[in-house]
Amino acid sequence: MSVGGKSQQMVLLGMLLIGFWYALQLFASVLAPFVAAGVAAYALDPPTTQLTRLGLPRGFAAIAMILAILAAMLLFALLLYPLLLFQLGLLAARIPHYAFLAQGWAREVLTSVQEQFGPDLVNDKLRDVISGQAGSMLSIVLSTVTGVIGSGFAIFNLLSLVVVTPVVGFYLLRDWPRMITMIDSWLPNRYAPVIRVQAREIDRILSAWVRGQALCCLFLALYYALGLSLAGLDLGLVVGLSAGLLSFIPYVGSIIGGATAIGLSLAQFPNWHGVAWVAGVLLIGQVLEGYVIYPRVLGDRVELPAVWVIFALFAGAAAFGFLGVMLAVPIAATIGVLCRFWLRRYLASTLYLDPQGPLSGGP
């Protein structure tokens, strides 16, 4: 292939990427249900294929899977939604009490620092200002968290997610094999084998992460919600479900859920016995997560480093909001596979292997 042909291909590829980015920016506000439907179709394709192998037509298998997911969501809403609303109302009612406790704790800490290092470091005015701000900051944080959770359930009830996503998901799931065959027929003959190999690698990593992470989050959410509730934490259901569902972001769910549970237990229980029970639930959860759930469900199939996943999720959220969060992991997996492919090509090239290359200064 000539240099001019390669340049034209690079220009065409660059224009396609720019067009894709511009389309995301332009239609980000309406793409979320369609992307969610695509994610659902991708995740449900293997069980749907299994149903077709049992003799069920693809359309009936697809609608059966969609109805099963809707039934599970409806069951969740009927069983847990009233409890969640009750606990969110309880949290909102206790915000002033938690703010007062935070203010008293900050005043005690500053008083202790003042006694140890003298009034030159911490005077009475500074102590009062900081302790007052501590209560205000906690009140703002808790109010924000309550509002975010409440708005999340409000978004869940919007027509676009309740109606559009299942309908689009059904059509995508029904036509999934046909779409894959059609896209495969568009591949250039010269590069089709290489592209298929990389696509299978992306599918292997992405399917392991999406389906495995979904199961892990479900197991952890059920464990933390049940364990913290049995430990006597009043807001155990909300904290447990939040910690489990946030576990798709490495370390974030554990840190936020653990800190919130310990803080609420310190404010609720008059002695260390209840706090110890909550801490025990969190510790056992970490052991199960690190040594049982993730190794057995995910294993070594996921080649996505935790730092790369965290960066991708936050970068996607900053760029496109909720849509960016849904697209972050697929794009991160694709970039990772392509980088490893080009690294292998580079390590096998003369640019790397030839000691007398053009940059060596040799003859």
159 pLDDT band, cuts 50/70/90, is low
On the question of pLDDT at 103 being above 80, the answer is no
148 pLDDT band, cuts 50/70/90, is very low
Q: Cα(321)–Cα(242) distance, rounded to whole angstroms? A: 19
**Residue 256's pLDDT is what?**
86
Distances (CA, A) of 146 to 17, 139, 260: 39, 11, 13
Task: Give percent above pLDDT 70 in the chain.
Answer: 75
In the chain, helix, strand, coil percent, each to 5? 85, 0, 15
Q: Cα(24)–Cα(30) distance, rounded to whole angstroms? A: 10
**Amino acid sitting at position 203:** D
Task: Give percent above pLDDT 90 in the chain.
Answer: 24
Q: Cα(189)–Cα(332) distance, rounded to whole angstroms? A: 27
**Residue 157's pLDDT is what?**
44
Q: Contacts by 213-216 with C-beta closer than 8 Å and gap 24+?
A: 213/247, 213/248, 213/298, 214/43, 214/248, 215/297, 216/247, 216/289, 216/293, 216/294, 216/297, 216/298
Count of CB atoms situated within 10 Å of the CB of 36: 20
139 pLDDT band, cuts 50/70/90, is low
Q: Cα(164)–Cα(313) distance, rounded to whole angstroms? A: 24
On the question of pLDDT at 123 being above 60, the answer is no
> Can you say whether the dihedral through the CA atoms of 156, 45, 309, 330 is positive or negative?
negative
Q: Cα(204)–Cα(222) distance, rounded to whole angstroms? A: 27
Under 8 Å between Cβ of 64 and 56: yes
Mean pLDDT comparison of 23-32, 38-47, 267-276, highest-scoring range: 38-47
150 pLDDT band, cuts 50/70/90, is very low
Listed residue (207, 270, 233, 250) closest to 43, CA to CA: 207
- Residue pointed to by tokens 């037509």: 57
Q: Among 196-210, 298-312, 333-347, 349-363, name the one with the lowest average pLDDT.
A: 349-363
Please compute the mean of the pLDDT values over residues 236-244 and round it to a whole number: 88
**Residue 97 class from Cβ within 10 Å (0-12 exposed, 13-18 middle, 19+ buried)?**
exposed
**Residue 354 class from Cβ within 10 Å (0-12 exposed, 13-18 middle, 19+ buried)?**
exposed
> pLDDT by residue (tens digit) across 31-46?
888 888 998 899 899 9
On the question of pLDDT at 189 being above 50, the answer is yes
**Residue 73's pLDDT is what?**
83
> Can you say whether the dihedral through the CA atoms of 311, 313, 316, 317 is positive or negative?
negative
Domain extents in the chain = 31-183, 192-351
On the question of pLDDT at 176 being above 80, the answer is yes
Please compute the mean of the pLDDT values over residues 24-33 and round it to a whole number: 79
The answer to pTM > 0.85 is no
**Residue 291 class from Cβ within 10 Å (0-12 exposed, 13-18 middle, 19+ buried)?**
exposed
Radius of gyration of the chain (CA): 26
On the question of pLDDT at 23 being above 50, the answer is yes
Distant-in-sequence, close-in-space partners of 37: CB < 8 Å, separation ≥ 6: 164, 165, 166, 167, 168, 169, 172
Mean pLDDT comparison of 52-61, 241-250, 351-360, highest-scoring range: 52-61
